[in-house]
Structure 1
C-alpha cells in the first residue's frame, strides 16, 4: 500500500504526540487563530504556540531548511 501511495505522490508522515499537542494541532488546522489549548482529564495539561526565535535554548540551532 505504501509503495502504491508513493507512486502517486502521496507521502504519509506519522508523529506521536500527547493529546494536548494533538488537539492544539487539530484546532490550528481548523482555525489558524488557535494559539492555546488546555486539556482537563485525569490530569491537566496545557500547551501554546511560540515563535522558535523567541525560545532562548533554540537560538543558534535553527536551520534554513
Structure 2
C-alpha cells in the first residue's frame, strides 16, 4: 500500500479528481514487485519531477 504526498500527482491546471486517479491506475501493475521497485516505478510512471514528493510503501504481513 503506497502512501504519497500531493507532489507525486498534482499538476497545475489539472482537476484534482483526475490527478488522484493517476496513481491508482499506475500502482496496480508493479504491486507485487519489491517495495523499492514499486516506489521507483510510481515515480517513473507518474513523471515525477522531484518537487515536494514523498512515497512510503508498506506490505502488511499476516499474523502468524
TM-score (norm 2): 0.29
Structure with the bigger RCO (C-alpha within 8 Å, sep 6+) is 2
Judging by fraction of residues, say which structure has more strand. 1
TM-score (norm 1): 0.28
Greater gyration radius: 1
